[in-house]
Structure 1
Amino acid sequence: MLRQTSRLCVSRLCTFPVKSAKYAGISTSRVIIDDEDRTEYIRRRKTEWKRKQGGQTFLDHLIVTVRAGKGGNGCAAFHREKFKPFGPPSGGSGGRGGDIYIIPTSSLTTLTSVPKRVHAQPGGNGQGTWQNGRNGDPTIIRVPLGTVVRELPRDDPRTSPDEWETEEESLEGLDYETKREKMRERRWVHYPRFSEANQERDSFKEAEAALYNEERERRFERRKKQMNNPIFLDLDTEEIMEDNTNLPLGQRRAESFGYLIASGGQGGLGNPHFLSEVNRSPKFASRGHEGERVTLSLELKILADVGLVGMPNAGKSTLLRAFTGGRTRTEVAGYEFTTLNPIVGVVRVGEDGSFEGGLSTGLVHDETLTEEQLEQERHRRGEYAHALTRNQHTSRTGHHFDLLETFRFTVADNPGLILGASDNVGLGHTFLRSMERALALVYVVDLAGPEPWTELRVLRDELDQYQPGMSAKARMVIANKADLLGGDGDPVLVEQAREKLRQLEEYVRTQMIIPGTRHRLDVVPTSAKFSQNLSKVVGLMKDYVTEAREAKRRMELTSRLF
């Protein structure tokens, strides 16, 4: 044992838990790996750790099985009091099962808090002296804004069986008599010691036949609704609609609950409901119905006015930090896939065109500076006095400034896009889903790279392969990291940089033409690290967002009129 340990120390091999397919055939829980595999293991663990936000893993797609509450059972009882030893039937009916609603909430940014299985409360059972059971409380599922809710079809393998299919599976392989006995146990409540006698009465057989007919009709209506009108909700606003129970399932909305997606089962009937001229003493009651069972697909598409599209390490996170004046603490580092989760920042624009990030012109947005160093940098450059003079503000919090804001829009920083992202290579679909809702897209390329126009072609092709026509949302090309060109003012290097920029502009003018649109892509060289030429970028983004919002508003007005 000592000899083996010494050999491991000399060869610098380490042991790690086996969690990859590479070592799937090894039976032991730990395996000796070399330095290369150890580096890969550490990188994978670091990536998973970084994908956690606030202790929760970012989640943008989820399958949820919803089960509304079961109705309470009816009661088979008879009224008894002094001088009335044989009173009338007095069993109460069961309460209705709890409904399930879904509502968008702006305070959530991920689907992590949504459980994969949701069960609503059942209704209370009926009791003697005509006491009905209480209704089950409604269950509310809260999801982030931008969530798309779809009901999975019955033929989808991810769909859970409904109440009838569950019963059929439990009865599979049993003989006829045993099946009938178990089906009756699920549907009927008998007065003590009258179970066998009730099954021989014609009144019970008639009630049983009526119950089966009702179940068949209910099942047919459910299947018809799932085929012709499945649940589809686009939860992009928090507006509260007035209650309208006449709308179909999936579109009804209560004042404070949200959209109804699964109705609770009806409560069972007490024995007074089976009272007739032929049967004056019914000694049976029905059990509550099962609640609706629905399998939903939740897909989160982040709502942002402008989406930054670029290769890994193109400077998107640095741009967002510069736009927001450092309020959005995106991670910035010198390696690829630094951003693993979509992050949305708010850009605040003043009446004179100034923006919050512009109050700190000259500030270096770099990962090597701490908060104390950032504060010292602002003091050294006199940014406080500059901001007070330019925007006439009277208060500030920390090192952020309150300008006279007249317009705001949101910008989304997303994981880097690579070749094959439309086939879910890298973080492809996670990134692309978050871009579908953006009003405008902005390409971010590394101007210091060898061929930035090649990056543009890959970005455009991946967008269109994922969703045809998606690249038509692009409005601008940001040629970032322009500060790396030109050296220290050498005329030859400066001219080479200008020529490279001219080649990029020519490529955009001739090759990045968007069919069916009147606008052309603007090309703006910037240095996000040093906040250079960002005022022009913010001004153009403001124009894009204003135009897109106005077009969207016109479309909504037209749809309401017609």
Structure 2
Amino acid sequence: MGRVQFADYAKVYVKGGHGGAGSVHFRREKYVPRGGPDGGDGGDGGDVILRGNEQLNTLLDLRYHKYVNAKDGQRGESSKRKGKDGADEIMEAPMGCVVYDANTKERLGEITEHEQEIVVAQGGKGGLGNWHFRSSTNQTPRHAQDGKEGEERAIEIELKLIADVGLVGFPNAGKSTLLSAISGAEPKIGSYPFTTLQPNLGVVTMPDYRTFVMADIPGIIEEAHDGRGLGIQFLRHIERNNVLLFMVSSQQDIEYEYQALLDELRAYRADLLDKPRILAITKMDLLEDYQLDEEKKVDLDIPTVEISAATNYHIDELKEIIWEQIQAVESSREDNESTG
């Protein structure tokens, strides 16, 4: 079996570095034979850090690194010199990652910006050297603190793809064919369900150098929100898309399938239906004169376009509709920011 080219989930065991022990040492010089304590503090252990990298779009590398340990701090030295801190261990991840504690399910953070950092395992503090423990009654303390253990945990990282528009449809609705036809992406295409087993991203270029990013999300099936089929592992990618392009084949009951898709999204997260929606009725080239039968026509309160990716039928019209919806979202966001 070939190496997987995309991963949207990784479980990693992380451990912060152990803090260095404090030093037990006394000042000894030529003319100071009985100097006081001068043992330095131990260095702090390094942290394990998750850092955003805008050049990445998969968790593949982290999937193959199951254990990540930061470096230990070094022991304190004489003359009150602190030991060297342990080096941090950096794990790079794409935008759109959410990280959880695997055992408690506590949400540790979310990567939304390039070079944003989340400490997922903190290093232990270095121990105090013996000079901290001198007193009027104990001029020669012969003990120092041990360093603290670094934090240790298993974390789960989930990637939710960020795209301008996400393709939503049941298997074999023509999503991969559309993405391939209007972008540079090369998803696997076949005439059977679940051809797409992983999300694909494509950049769509329009006239005047306008571009937007489209995500082909693996086909949903009814009751996917309960884990059937490919389950919610792909429904989460829809959360990050600004516009949802619903795709239903002209060969199916169009209104029934559209409503079934809405039901799945509503059951998973009802607020997904607040996103702008477009309906594309696909595979029109399979109909005589590209005409739907009267009983299949739908009258919805969203933009609807009949297309064929195979023959480029109404594809330019679809791209313009998508662009208009994306611009409306961005304009609304800017208005909210200016009034907020």
Matched positions, count: 338
Whole-angstrom distance in 1 between the partners of 2:200 and 2:113: 19
8 A contact 2:203–2:211 mirrored in 1: yes
8 A contact 1:505–1:523 mirrored in 2: no
Look up the match of 2:231. Answer: 428
Higher Cα Rg, which structure: 1
Deviation at 1:504, TM superposition (A): 3.7
- Amino acid paired to 2:269: Q
8 A contact 1:231–1:261 mirrored in 2: no
Asked whether 1:411 is paired with 2:204, we answer: no
Look up the match of 1:77. Answer: 25
- Find the residue that maps to 1:439 and give its secondary structure: strand
- Amino acid paired to 1:60: D
- Find the residue that maps to 2:332 and give its secondary structure: helix
Asked whether 1:236 is paired with 2:236, we answer: no
Look up the match of 2:7. Answer: 59
Look up the match of 1:342. Answer: 199
Look up the match of 2:240. Answer: 437
User: Matches of residues 166-205 of structure 1 in structure 2 within 5 Å?
Assistant: none
Asked whether 1:551 is paired with 2:332, we answer: yes
Look up the match of 1:110. Answer: 58
**TM-score normalised per structure 2:** 0.91
Q: What's the RMSD between the two structures over aligned residues?
A: 2.3
Q: Pick from 285, 298, 301: which aligns with 1:483?
A: 285
For residues 221-245 of structure 1, the C-alpha deviation after alignment (integer angstroms, 9 at most, x for no partner) is xxxxxxxxx754332232x6xxxxx
Look up the match of 1:287. Answer: 146
Look up the match of 1:466. Answer: 268
Whole-angstrom distance in 2 between the partners of 1:83 and 1:523: 92
8 A contact 1:71–1:123 mirrored in 2: yes
- Amino acid paired to 2:59: L
Deviation at 1:119, TM superposition (A): 2.1
For residues 186-216 of structure 1, the C-alpha deviation after alignment (integer angstroms, 9 at most, x for no partner) is xxxxxxxxxxxxxxxxxxxxxxxxxxxxxxx
User: Matches of residues 131-150 of structure 1 in structure 2 within 5 Å?
Assistant: 131-150=81-100
- Find the residue that maps to 1:298 and give its secondary structure: strand
Whole-angstrom distance in 2 between the partners of 1:425 and 1:231: 25
Whole-angstrom distance in 2 between the partners of 1:498 and 1:74: 81
- Find the residue that maps to 2:213 and give its secondary structure: strand
For residues 347-366 of structure 1, the C-alpha deviation after alignment (integer angstroms, 9 at most, x for no partner) is 11123xxxxxxxxxxxxxxx
Q: Give the 3 Å change call, closer, same or farther, for CA 143–479 of structure 1 in structure 2.
A: same
8 A contact 1:159–1:295 mirrored in 2: no
- Amino acid paired to 2:195: T
For residues 461-516 of structure 1, the C-alpha deviation after alignment (integer angstroms, 9 at most, x for no partner) is 11111111323425221111111111xxxxxxx4xx6352x43443x43xxxxxxx
User: Matches of residues 288-327 of structure 1 in structure 2 within 5 Å?
Assistant: 288-324=147-183, 327=184
Asked whether 1:125 is paired with 2:75, we answer: yes
Q: Give the 3 Å change call, closer, same or farther, for CA 318–441 of structure 1 in structure 2.
A: same
Look up the match of 1:269. Answer: 128
Q: Pick from 42, 45, 54: which aligns with 1:97?
A: 45
- Amino acid paired to 1:482: M
Q: Give the 3 Å change call, closer, same or farther, for CA 473–129 of structure 1 in structure 2.
A: closer
Whole-angstrom distance in 1 between the partners of 2:107 and 2:153: 9
Asked whether 1:503 is paired with 2:295, we answer: yes
Look up the match of 1:185. Answer: none
Whole-angstrom distance in 2 between the partners of 1:307 and 1:74: 55
- Amino acid paired to 1:99: D
Q: Give the 3 Å change call, closer, same or farther, for CA 133–68 of structure 1 in structure 2.
A: same
Deviation at 1:141, TM superposition (A): 2.0
Whole-angstrom distance in 2 between the partners of 1:499 and 1:144: 42
Whole-angstrom distance in 2 between the partners of 1:469 and 1:96: 44
Whole-angstrom distance in 1 between the partners of 2:196 and 2:79: 65
Look up the match of 1:512. Answer: none
Whole-angstrom distance in 2 between the partners of 1:111 and 1:499: 43
8 A contact 2:250–2:292 mirrored in 1: no
Whole-angstrom distance in 1 between the partners of 2:110 and 2:82: 38
**TM-score normalised per structure 1:** 0.56
- Find the residue that maps to 1:56 and give its secondary structure: coil
Deviation at 1:275, TM superposition (A): 1.1
- Structure 2 alignment gaps of length 5 or more: none
Look up the match of 1:368. Answer: none
- Find the residue that maps to 1:471 and give its secondary structure: helix
Q: Pick from 124, 130, 137: which aligns with 1:278?
A: 137
Deviation at 1:541, TM superposition (A): 0.2
Quick check: 294-303 or 335-344, which moved more? 294-303
8 A contact 2:222–2:260 mirrored in 1: yes
8 A contact 2:284–2:291 mirrored in 1: no
- Amino acid paired to 1:555: N
Q: Give the 3 Å change call, closer, same or farther, for CA 472–299 of structure 1 in structure 2.
A: same
The structure richer in helix per residue is 1
- Amino acid paired to 2:262: R
User: Matches of residues 235-254 of structure 1 in structure 2 within 5 Å?
Assistant: 235-238=111-114
Q: Give the 3 Å change call, closer, same or farther, for CA 553–504 of structure 1 in structure 2.
A: farther
